[in-house]
Structure 1
């Protein structure tokens, strides 16, 4: 029997079609809301925080606006007021019921920010609090590890980027669901998938690395490996990895390296994989075409999408890898130990 996580991975194309279809007509509304703002503040935790990393790179690389990640404790614990005039605060939460995120968005509004919520929780406190709520159409997600709620969040952030004036072609976004369908089939047909799963089943730790718009994907895959497979997975930009932590990569600690064809950081991504292999360790590539595959020990396919939308699909081979590895390890990926669907961090 397939796991609930695997079923929900397969539901992503249709969830994305619904989400993209419902949100792209709201670009004009976002343009109006953001007209008097000059920078973006993302508020999130967990997988939503990894989505926010994608949002930050998209906003800064394609709209020319400064974007930053919030520290919610400034609002909820230190209770410090900050001048947020001219800021668009974007809170991301799959449930819309994480109290810390709701409180931080309310704080941002009180500090002068315009506010946007990205959530799968229609009628949730977060959706009700925001000036504009971008409701994703993922449907109910039962597995604890986020899959379709994560990718639909990325779709919502892609629409947000367009509303902020990103120099992108929205037709690229419409291609994503079909590309994910193709990628699921191609990944599961790849002989490398079973080989990587078998090799990772014998290690306790792995480094997951990327850079630029793919960096949030590396963080998300690392989080899933920790959540569902109980591996010591470290998600790092390859620039940070080269500043010392690469010392942990050896014959017992492989690297999972993610890349996007056509990206300006692909050359460095492939060079990292080659360095890992040259040091006697294993490097597993995801995406990046023949350049990254040729530098890696084993590789999984990636999406044929431009860099700005590639992260919506690039995460999918990682999701499939995590689900199969968890089952290989005798772990139920649907209900990892110690986790709930909605996490409350407290004050």
Structure 2
């Protein structure tokens, strides 16, 4: 029986094509809104917050604008007004209905920020109607609780945002993303071996750095919510500052990297350190170098680092769905979770 999660993973190439077709013509609108701003804040929770981490690294590394993740409680709980003149506030919500995110974006606008909504909820969703500019993704309805296609289309929208902010990238790289994702769905790598390696453990460390850090965080979240694993998502720099002590024969590491870029050598070195200590290291992406240093590996996309996260997450999604079934869990409906989460 095919799960809804697995079906929605397979819909990602089409969802990415539709989203890019809809949003790339709007780069000029982003540029016009962002022209008077000097820095960005991202407003999000959960999976959307992991997408925002990608946006932060992408815009700082390639567009040269300082970016940060907002603390919504400043707006909703402490109700503190800040001077956000010259700030572009970007709110991400899959549904566009999460009250905390809508309220925080309205607060940012009242504080003087330019505002952008990234949502799959459509132009009439509460979040889209609150923003100066709404970038609506085209993922279609997503029924499985663990987000897949809504996450990858958020990354696509953030890539379009980066283009509007003048990112020093080749926009034509985006044309390659849907096909690369399609290839990963057809051949995600050694999923069965990694599933068996994680089937009986209670915890796993998931690590990446830079552009790939968002993938590590999102993979850890998926393993928590769909497989009930104690999954710790960390930058490998933070991992080396102490938490690496938890990695042992009962706590493997899942290491994520693009096939190129400045963080790849460090990820390969970490894989060698983990396996050298007698623990298992499972690679996600990183090309032949990371695969050779790992116990087993999942394939990554043949894409430049700045767009690689849109593909890197896909084998991790496939792993999560397969591991959930291996552990006797329905990945479509994890316990205690709903599709739309409201935070007090």
The alpha carbon displacement at 1:303 in A equals 0.4
* CA displacement 1:173-211 (0-9 Å, x = unmatched): 111000000111111xx4x21111012011000000000
Q: Does 1:203 align with 2:201?
A: yes
Match of 1:88 in 2: 88
Residues 184-195 of structure 1 mapped to structure 2, 5 A cutoff: 184-187=185-188, 190=189, 192-195=190-193
Q: Distance in 2 between matches of 1:216 and 1:180?
A: 17
Displacement of 1:261: 1.5
Aligned to 1:20: 20
Give the equivalent residue in structure 1 for 2:30. Answer: 30
Match of 1:277 in 2: 275
Instruction: List gaps (5 residues or longer) in structure 1.
Output: none
Equivalent residue number for residue 155 of structure 2: 154
Alignment of 1:208-223 (within 5 A): 208-223=206-221
Give, in whole Å, the separation in 2 of the partners of 1:148 and 1:319. Answer: 10
Q: State whether structure 2 residue 40 is matched by structure 1 residue 40.
A: yes
Distance 2:292 2:9 in 1: 28
Q: Which residue is equivalent to 1:344?
A: 342
- C-alpha RMSD of matched pairs (Å): 0.5
Counterparts in 2 of 1:324-339, with a 5 A limit? 324-339=322-337
1:226-261 C-alpha deviation (Å, 9 max, x unpaired) = 000000000000000000000000000000000112
SS of residue paired to 2:187: helix
Q: C-alpha separation between the residues in 2 aligned to 1:331 and 1:193?
A: 17
Give the Cα separation in 1 of the matches to 2:296 and 2:196. Answer: 12
Q: Which residue of 1 aligns with 2:310?
A: 312
DSSP-derived class of the 1:53 partner: helix
| Cα offsets for 1:250-285 (capped at 9, x unmatched) | 000000000112211100000001100011100000
Following TM superposition, by how much is the alpha carbon of 1:327 offset from its aligned partner in structure 2, in angstroms?
0.4
2:118 maps to 1:143 = no
| 1:57-136 mapped onto 2 (5 Å cutoff) | 57-122=57-122, 123-136=124-137
Q: What whole-Å deviation, never above 9, does each CA across 1:76-129 have from its counterpart, x for those lacking one? A: 001111110000000000000000000000000011000000000011100000
- 1:143 alignment partner, SS class: coil
User: Residues 125-168 of structure 1, C-alpha deviation per residue, up to 9 Å, x if partnerless?
Assistant: 00000000000000000000000000000000000000000011
CA deviations 1:22-58 (Å, max 9, x no partner) are 0000000000000000001000000000000000000
Q: Distance in 1 between matches of 2:322 and 2:260?
A: 29
Q: Secondary structure at the match of 2:207?
A: strand
What is the distance in 2 between the residues matched to 1:99 and 1:105? 10
Aligned-pair CA distance for 1:169: 1.1
**Matching residue of 2:251:** 253
2:291 paired residue number: 293
Pairing partner for 2:224 from 223, 226, 234: 226
Q: Separation in 1 of the partners of 2:108 and 2:94?
A: 19
CA distance in 2, matches of 1:262, 1:341: 35
- TM-score w.r.t. the length of structure 1 is 0.98
Q: 1:264 aligns with which of 259, 262, 265?
A: 262
Query: 1:239 pairs with 230, 237, 240, which one?
Result: 237
**Take 2:241 and 2:249, find their aligned partners in 1: how far apart are those partners?**
20
List structure 1 segments (4+ residues) > 6 angstroms apart after TM superposition. none
Aligned residues: 343
